[in-house]
Amino acid sequence: MNTPFLPFTRPSIDEDTIADVANVLRSGWITSGPKVQAFEAVLSHYCGGRAVRVFSSGTATLEVALRLAKVGAHDDRPGGVQQDTVITTPLTWVATANVILAVGATPVFVDIDPVTRNLDLDQLEAAITAETKAIIPVDLAGLPVDRDRLYAIARKHGLRVIEDAAQSLGASWNGRPIGSTGDFVSFSFHANKNLTTGEGGALVLPADVDPALCERLRLQGVKRFPDGGMDVDMLGGKANLTDIAAAIGLGQMKHLTAFTERRRALARRYFEQIDPSIVAMGLELPPADFENANWHMFQPLLPDNAKRGVFIAAMKARGIGVGVHYPALHLFSLYRKLGWQEGDFPEAERVGRRTITLPLFPAMSEADVDRVCAAIKDSLPDCIER
């Protein structure tokens, strides 16, 4: 039998959305316009009426949030240039830390909680210093960081929070959707995320930030006047979303709840179908959260003595795509050059070495999950180093 290749993820875009994208293309207006405004309105409604602005990427939203929070390098203090520090996790997509460097601030990493694989809140407070301005928590794989504990610490120390919720749109905390509470909240609509516009992102703004200022940071610092005139008195980037992309986002938003439910059902199926003998071999399953998490990814950890490259190749040979998200980022060359090294964050390193991302996306069937589990049972024993 010829079974088609099963990738680790694949977007679900319906025919109505494709037709609407075609409408935008025929309309004569394809960059930011009415579709962007409509998409922002739908996202704002989802986020309980909070102000939301969309961007060309999640990375851009994080960088703009840091600028809006006035985090960066300052030379207004005695002693010359002072760099703010921002606390985050080393186990995330590298964008989270890159934006801290991009605004001239210094990342401070706190190791992960080995159970949730998110920033360890037990270690967070000890990392806060006079230079700390903000925290960027990441909801890895769509499992939310404990918002109650996080904000209690942030409030106590007067720190801003920029939630990197790139992976957690559709997830919730205390029954409230991620994005509907908190300080800054950043979403990504990259092709692999739970809701996609191809590329794109959204920033949920706190009440003390003027959305007009956010718009100016998004587009060259341009301020427009009712008489048609304009001025530029600050430096802004170029990170607006197109109406083509916004039309995809509007179509996707109609399915967000169903996508999340489907992902949860498939994750449950994994827990039921993964063979106990594989778990006995040392495969570690992710936390079984079916209330808060949106199951952006299903990520077991391979046994310590398994060769990941061999396993991924064996799965591929069986027609199954397996991803790696992510190696601990402080071990990338750029960050090593800045002074980080092996052993700095042992839990993040351990997870980063062992993590695998199994196929999980709304269009998958239960039979697909079963096929993945059977392939693991077949492949894993041959990948163990003896």
Give min distance, CB of 77 to ligand PLP, in A: 30
CB of residue 57 to ligand PLP, shortest distance in Å: 4
Nearest CB to ligand PLP, comparing residues 96 and 379: 96
Q: Which is nearer to ligand PLP, 97 or 247 (CB)?
A: 97
* Rounded Cα–Cα distance for residues 105 and 95 (Å): 14
CA neighbor of 133 nearest in space, from 184, 60, 178, 92 = 184
Tell how strand 106-109 and strand 172-173 pair up: unpaired
Residues 60-99 that bind ligand PLP (CB under 6 A): 92-93, 95-96
Q: What are residue 89's phi and psi, to 5 degrees?
A: -100, 145
Tokens of 41: 């309105």
Least separation in angstroms between residue 171's CB and ligand PLP is 13
Quick one: which of 107, 170, 201, 300 contacts ligand PLP (CB under 6 A)?
A: 201
Considering the complex, what minimum distance in angstroms separates the CB of residue 109 from ligand PLP? Answer: 14
**Is residue 166 at the binding interface for ligand PLP, with CB under 6 A as the rule?**
yes
Residues 188, 321: Cα–Cα separation, whole Å: 22
Question: Of 17, 32, 44, 59, which lies in the binding site for ligand PLP, with binding defined by CB under 6 A?
Answer: 59
Please identify, using beta-carbon distances, which residue of 200 and 300 lies nearer to ligand PLP.
Answer: 200
* Closer to ligand PLP by Cβ: residue 59 or 299: 59
Q: Answer yes or no: are the C-beta atoms of 215 and 86 closer than 8 Å.
A: no
Q: Which is nearer to ligand PLP, 95 or 301 (CB)?
A: 95
Between the CA atoms of 173, 176, 177 and 181, what dihedral angle is there, to the nearest 10 degrees?
-90
Judged on CB neighbours under 10 Å (0-12, 13-18, 19+), 180 is middle
Interacting span for ligand PLP (CB under 6 A) from 5-13, 39-47, 53-61, 232-240: 53-61
How many helices (H) and strands (E) in the chain? 14, 13
Close Cβ partners of 32 (under 8 Å, ≥ 6 residues apart): 240, 241, 242, 243, 246
What's the closest the beta carbon of residue 199 comes to ligand PLP, in angstroms?
6
Other C-beta atoms within 10 Å of 381: how many?
12
Reading phi first (left if > 0) and then psi (alpha if -120 to 50, else beta), residue 129 is in beta
Q: Which two tokens stand for residue 21?
A: 């994208």
Judge contact between 63 and 162, C-beta under 8 A.
Answer: no
Query: Per rule CB under 6 A, is residue 167 in the interface with ligand PLP?
Result: yes
Residue 193 annotated in active site = yes
* 117 lies in the site for ligand PLP, by CB under 6 A: no
The least distance separating ligand PLP from the CB of residue 299, rounded to whole angstroms, comes to 13
The span of 51-59, 169-177, 236-244, 365-373 binding ligand PLP (CB under 6 A) equals: 51-59
Site string for ligand PLP, 10-49 (x = CB under 6 A): ----------------------------------------
Look up residue 138 and give its two tokens. 């990441």
For residues 327, 333, 339 and 344, what is the CA-based torsion angle, rounded to 10 degrees? 20
Task: Return all residues near 313 (Cβ < 8 A) that are at least 6 apart.
Answer: none
The binding track of 122-161 with respect to ligand PLP, each residue x by CB under 6 A or -, is ----------------x-----------------------
Catalytic one of 35, 70, 133, 193: 193
Q: Which stretch binds ligand PLP (CB under 6 A): 55-63, 174-182, 203-211, 274-282?
A: 55-63
Query: How many residues contact ligand PLP, by CB under 6 A?
Result: 14
- Min. distance of Cβ 115 from ligand PLP in angstroms? 19
- Active-site residues, by number, are 193
- The residues that touch ligand PLP, with contacts defined as CB under 6 A, are 57-59, 92-93, 95-96, 138, 164, 166-167, 188, 190, 201
